[in-house]
Structure 1
């Protein structure tokens, strides 16, 4: 079974609308031909100046296995339709970025009437594919930027980071949900609890946790692990502390851990973002951009994961959802790249 569907140069150019007198990112991005062995292609990309690898996971079996909505299948395509058409200029040329492709998932996407147990078994298979590809990216000294699919894929990315670095991972997650549900079979709500049990998660902080969207059992499990959080209500509603103060505390704890860092972001943290569990009471996109940029610039980050974007869940329809998800994720990618570039220049 093919694990990876490559994003070739020809495909990239199909996404790119060229214009005389302008250079778009799609004309400068590195792509994967799918013929070269992946490890060799990643090594060659790094030798060519690539630092960031965009990887898609087009699936919604994880959210459905968590008894949630589907739709998190098309965020990668929505993003590339925007990302490829941004300007290549003095701020960012695109040449440090490889768009690798998508994890193959067509054989795992089951019918809507599939039972939770069957879907959870499929998530187990998907985990192995994510781990296989992401491990190779990190071992090559590159930073994955993973788009799409459910938040179940956090488990595979944490395991891959542990495999590649021989260290547990310090993760921070902007998310109304802690995703620390019981280990009842793999789904989008328990990626971090499975990672904790496996030894891949060494430190965990949830930013923007919604106080009434996490069961008492989940909160107790998170506390027993030593997980920490700043709630949505504490920062954005009651204003007991500022976002800036919360970020400074998180950055200190991540750095004190001495572990590689994972930046996780569930798109349903952002107000009215089309996602598997969209929310009216979320954080502004600009605050999400600040979160990504600050953590990226101040810590030893291994990857960025942008999960749960679901264009088809937009209230105005899929076309509007493609535009909003694509633009939002593209901005988050650029915020991350800016942050990592700043970290490199001061490090």
Structure 2
């Protein structure tokens, strides 16, 4: 497993005197070739896609902020957890950085690990998906090779934006799912996409039309409430049942600006963590979740580490089983 940058220095926190009181910084270890299968955190230090999409840059420092916020949280896992360092997009070559991320994710999955990728801008999604696709296709050597049955990779995106912009001119944080759709078409694979928490005010009519044409499962931010949670959970379970594997991606700008001020595009409305947690638990416990990532944490605009703490709680939630 190769990473462009690796340091365990961010894993610091308090040590409690009571027995059985471990915290993340006491239990996470650097990933090695001998590591037994477990949860692996892999950073994608990039905001090149955000810059191209005319957003507020700063998400390049998201992975470090997430680690620092997670370090002091209480440890409730039974299995091991590792830090695999950061993939870095330092030269503006986003396509190459996404390809390296995909190779690393594929290697982790092949080794039996459960990766959580820490973005970075939402351009992380195209790299994450490439890794899962390569894994399900039988590894890097068989990328593009014909399969007897095309895998149905269900993408569940909690996001204020579709990120289905036309990638013909430029690849950015606004194009990853359109790029994935193109890759699926080229492989004759189904494109199976759910986008939950979409803001009608932040997506053009053209994007809503494109989502409809692609048969995307759409739920707007205003549609997600206490009263609709049970029905939405049923919709999610039906979506998951039709998939071979699930890739979960969370753009932190899906949360209200009061909960997540430190993002590239703060949400005037958003969907609260209290509403999304039970949906995330259903996905986590489905038995089909293979890969997750978090995107768009921008520490430069955070307030009292509020957004980093929210991201850390999401990682903590996804790290628990059953």
Q: Note whether the superposition's TM-score is higher than 0.5.
A: yes
What secondary structure, in the 3-state scheme, does the structure 2 residue paired with 1:69 have? coil
| Long gaps (5+) in structure 2 | 138-150
| Long gaps (5+) in structure 1 | 109-121, 343-347
State the distance in 2 between where 1:84 and 1:201 align.
39
CA contact (8 A) 1:211 1:233 kept: no
TM-score using structure 2 length? 0.86
Higher helix share: 1
- How large is the RMSD of aligned CA atoms in angstroms? 2.1
Corresponding position: 1:83 with 2:67: no
Residue 143 (structure 2) aligns with: none
Deviation (angstroms), 1:168:
4.5
Task: Say which of 105, 120, 123 aligns to 1:134.
Answer: 105
Question: Deviation digits for residues 51-106 of structure 1, max 9, x if unmatched?
Answer: 21111112211111111111112222222222222233xx335x521111111233
Residue 345 (structure 1) aligns with: none
Task: Say which of 26, 44, 47 aligns to 1:60.
Answer: 47
Deviation (angstroms), 1:4:
2.6
CA contact (8 A) 1:170 1:254 kept: yes
Corresponding position: 1:72 with 2:54: no
State the distance in 1 between where 2:58 and 2:190 align.
28
CA contact (8 A) 1:75 1:325 kept: no
> What is the count of residue pairs matched by the alignment?
298
CA contact (8 A) 1:158 1:201 kept: no
CA contact (8 A) 1:192 1:201 kept: no
What secondary structure, in the 3-state scheme, does the structure 2 residue paired with 1:99 have? strand
State the distance in 2 between where 1:29 and 1:3 align.
17
Corresponding position: 1:333 with 2:315: yes
Corresponding position: 1:158 with 2:117: no
State the distance in 1 between where 2:65 and 2:190 align.
30
Deviation (angstroms), 1:12:
5.4
What secondary structure, in the 3-state scheme, does the structure 2 residue paired with 1:298 have? coil
Runs of 4+ in 1 over 6 A off after TM superposition: none
